[in-house]
Amino acid sequence: MANLLFYLMGLGAVIGSLLVVTSKNPITSVLSLLGTFFCLATIYLLAGFQFLAAAQILVYGGAIMVLFLFVVMLLNLGHPEEGSGLEFMNKRRMPFAFAASAMLIVLTFAGVLGQGSAPGAVELAHMATIGDLAGLMFGSFLLPFEAASILLMGAAVAVIVLAKRERTQAVER
């Protein structure tokens, strides 16, 4: 049963992510992404990562997705015209994209299936409750946690730098 569900969800995730990049309608893309997130969350649950699954749904499936939808609707990207520069499915580039994806798939199979089981993961499955996670996050992984906060700080400033209008420059000239 669990195996069947895993494969179903895996298939769903793959189809969902394919739809994200192939769909011409941004709304469809966003919704497919949502579906993909749900499939992934289920897989996390199956592996015993309750917290991760919940976070996945809350943060990605909830907050971020709503943000995406807002952006798409506000910017009114409903129907891109042909050749408007958003044409990622360029015929010339397709072979490269396929080659790259095929390589990743082959690497994955070689990497994971090449040896049967992933021993490290077996141990991890036991420690996925929120309490354990908190212990790790504020215990042995305190430093990366803090580093991540600096990272987010930097990212926030970076985004503002890129987004703000060059007002001062306009005034100067």
Partner 1 sequence: MNPYIEGMQALAPELVLTALALIVLVADLLTKGKDSRRMGYLTLAGLAVVGGMLALRLGEPSQTYFGMVIVDSFGTFFKLFTVAAVAVVCVFILSDKNERKNGIGEYYFLLLGASVGIFFMVSTNHLLLLVLGLELLSLASYALAGFHKGQRKSAEAAMKYVVFGGLSAGIMVYGISLLYGMTGTLDLAEMATLAGDSIPTGLVPQLYLSAMPVGVAMVMILAGFAYKMSVVPFHFWTPDVYEGSPTPVTTFLAVASKAAGVAALLRFVGALFPVDGVDEIIMWYGDRFGMLIAVLAAVTMTLGNLSALRQQSLKRMLAYSSIAHAGYILIGVATRTSEGFDAAMYYMTAYYFMNLGAFGVLLYFESALGSDRIEDMRGFGWKSPLISIAMVAFLVSLTGLPPTIGFYGKYLLFKVGVAEGLGWLVIVAALNSVVSLFYYFSVAKSLFLKESNDERPALSQPLFAGLLTAIGVLTIFFGLFPDSIQELVEMCSLLGS
- Residue count, binding to partner 1 (CB under 8 A): 36
By the rule CB under 8 A, 159 interacts with partner 1: yes
By the rule CB under 8 A, 127 interacts with partner 1: no
DSSP assignment string, the chain: -HHHHHHHHHHHHHHHHHHHHH-SSHHHHHHHHHHHHHHHHHHHHHHT-HHHHHHIIIIIIIIIHHHHHHHHHHHT-SSPPTTSS-----TTTHHHHHHHHHHHHHHHHHHHGGGS--HHHHHHGGG-SHHHHHHHHTTTTHHHHHHHHHHHHHHHHHHHHHHS--HHHHHH-
Q: How far is the CB of 118 from partner 1 (least distance, A)?
A: 4
By the rule CB under 8 A, 75 interacts with partner 1: no
By the rule CB under 8 A, 89 interacts with partner 1: no
By the rule CB under 8 A, 155 interacts with partner 1: yes
By the rule CB under 8 A, 166 interacts with partner 1: yes
Among 107, 130, 134, 136, the residue binding partner 1 under the rule CB under 8 A is 107
Stretch that binds partner 1, among 2-10, 68-76, 79-87, 118-126 (CB under 8 A): 118-126
Q: Which tokens go with 114?
A: 């090449």
By the rule CB under 8 A, 143 interacts with partner 1: yes
Among 5, 71, 112, 134, the residue binding partner 1 under the rule CB under 8 A is 112
> In 10 A of CB 16, how many CB atoms?
19
Among 78, 80, 111, 135, the residue binding partner 1 under the rule CB under 8 A is 111
> In 10 A of CB 48, how many CB atoms?
15
Contact positions vs partner 1 (CB under 8 A): 104, 107, 110-112, 114-115, 118-123, 140-144, 147-148, 150-151, 153-155, 157-162, 166-169, 172
